[in-house]
């Protein structure tokens, strides 16, 4: 197992390097630069001076080398759009609302989805099954910005119960979290329903019944454990996905989170911030999959023992 983890960590490093090169090249292949003006045109001399100051006049491989050398020392540079702080400081500040929004959304959506999926599988073709299927289908097909608008319309405009935007006081959290939670809820309701139906049809369930185990014991100990194995693997990547997944929700509710920086860093050619965001996502996704795979092996003895036969 240790060897496996070490090998995976090595592959994470390789992935990190490859992704960094690709992102860097793609980022610079977009025409234009951070000081080209737009709304506020900058004199040519100033532009050249700024480019020289930030090393943007150097060949790409030098720029890349410099940036990565900094990254290895946890120096991600200074964001062009907010030169008063470092990239790390900006991320540390913007990360909090995103984490709260995404984290609570997942923590609320996943258990709800699991319960809904379970109820649907256990009471197949009943009203709860149809409800679960409807919720899952709507949750997955309606874009989250439409859900957000509906929530704002009902709870802010018509009922006037909750503020429609902002962050800060917890009451402002409710609508964005609810909007965001629909995604993990729908995903898990669907996965759980099909995983449980699949397990319930396995021959070993009949054997468990024939042994005289109670239905509760069969469902909660055996069927749940077997059905949850595939669900574990999608959990962490989904959790990490909150970093990007909440872009729309954050935009709809004006949450000062990370989401807006993904867009603005590309639009303003904010190279240091863009690189930092993408590299961070890369590492987190890699680690999330690694941890999921370890968890999967731990839950599933067939993987854990790696095909060892008596």
Partner 1 sequence: MKDTQAQPIVEIEDLRVTFPQAEGSVRAVRGVSLALHPGESLGVVGESGSGKSVSWMAVMRLLRAPPAEVEAGRLRLAGIEVMQARREELTELRGRAAAMIFQDPMTAFDPVFTIGHQIIETIRAHRATSKRAARAEALDLLERVEIRNAEAILDSYPHQLSGGMLQRAMIAMALSCRPQVLIADEPTTALDVTVQAQILQLIKDLQDEMGMGLVMITHDLGVVAETVDRVVVMYGGKVMEEAPVVELFEDPRHPYTRALMVSIPGQEGGRRRLTEIPGASPDPSDPPEGCPFHPRCTQADAQCAAEEPPMAVLGPGRRAACWRLT
Among 36, 85, 171, 215, binds partner 1 (CB under 8 A): 215
Among 57, 202, 220, 267, binds partner 1 (CB under 8 A): 202
Interface with partner 1, residue 300, by CB under 8 A: yes
Interface with partner 1, residue 123, by CB under 8 A: no
At its nearest, how many Å lie between partner 1 and the CB of residue 195? 13
CA distance 229 to 225: 7
The contact pattern for partner 1, residues 227-246, with x = CB under 8 A and - = no contact, is --x-----------------
Residue in the block written with tokens 């994470």: 12
If one counts every other C-beta atom within 10 angstroms of the C-beta of residue 22, the result is 12
Nearer to partner 1, 120 or 240 (CB): 120
Contact call for residues 245 and 180 (beta carbons, < 8 A)? yes
At its nearest, how many Å lie between partner 1 and the CB of residue 20? 39
Nearer to partner 1, 140 or 299 (CB): 299
Residue in the block written with tokens 């795979």: 293
Among 7, 66, 123, 225, binds partner 1 (CB under 8 A): 225
CA distance 20 to 276: 10
Interface with partner 1, residue 204, by CB under 8 A: yes
Tokens matching residue 289: 């999959």
Among 65, 209, 220, 267, binds partner 1 (CB under 8 A): 209
Among 217, 220, 263, 267, binds partner 1 (CB under 8 A): 217
CA distance 27 to 50: 19
Nearest by Cα to 140 from 171, 109, 97: 109
Q: Which stretch binds partner 1 (CB under 8 A): 37-45, 147-155, 216-224, 283-291?
A: 216-224
At its nearest, how many Å lie between partner 1 and the CB of residue 111? 22
Sequence-distant (6+) residues with CB within 8 A of 245 are: 102, 144, 180, 183
> How far, rounded to the nearest angstrom, does the alpha carbon of residue 46 sit from its chain's CA centroid?
40
Tokens matching residue 274: 């863009």
Binding site for partner 1 (CB under 8 A): 202-204, 206-215, 217, 221-222, 225-226, 229, 299-302, 305, 308-310
């Amino acid at each position: 197992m240790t060897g496996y983890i070490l090998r995976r960590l090595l592959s994470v490093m390789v992935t990190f390097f490859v992704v960094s090169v690709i992102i860097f090249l793609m980022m610079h292949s977009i025409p234009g630069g951070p000081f080209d003006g737009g709304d506020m045109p900058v004199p040519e001399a100033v532009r050249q001076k700024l480019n020289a100051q930030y090393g943007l006049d150097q060949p790409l491989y030098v720029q890349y080398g410099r940036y990565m050398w900094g990254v290895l020392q946890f120096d991600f540079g200074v964001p062009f759009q907010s030169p008063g702080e470092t990239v790390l400081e900006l991320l540390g500040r913007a990360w909090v609302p995103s984490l709260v929004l995404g984290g609570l959304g997942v923590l609320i959506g996943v258990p709800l989805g699991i319960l809904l999926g379970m109820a649907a599988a256990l009471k197949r073709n009943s009203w709860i099954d149809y409800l679960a299927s409807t919720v899952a289908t709507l949750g997955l097909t309606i874009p989250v910005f439409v859900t957000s608008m509906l929530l704002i319309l009902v709870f802010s405009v018509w009922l006037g119960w909750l503020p429609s935007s902002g962050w800060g006081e917890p009451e402002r959290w409710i609508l964005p979290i609810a909007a965001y939670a629909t995604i993990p809820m729908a995903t898990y309701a669907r996965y759980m329903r099909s995983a449980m139906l699949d397990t319930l049809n396995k021959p070993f369930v009949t054997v468990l019944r024939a042994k005289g185990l109670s239905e509760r014991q069969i469902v909660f100990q055996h069927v749940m454990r077997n059905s949850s194995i595939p669900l574990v693997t999608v959990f962490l990547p989904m959790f990490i996905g909150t970093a990007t997944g909440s872009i729309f929700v954050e935009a709809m509710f004006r949450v000062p989170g990370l989401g807006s920086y993904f867009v603005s860093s590309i639009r303003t050619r904010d190279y240091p911030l863009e690189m930092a965001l993408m590299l961070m996502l890369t590492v987190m996704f890699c680690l999330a999959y690694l941890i999921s795979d370890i968890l999967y092996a731990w839950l599933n003895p067939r993987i854990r023992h790696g095909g060892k036969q008596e």
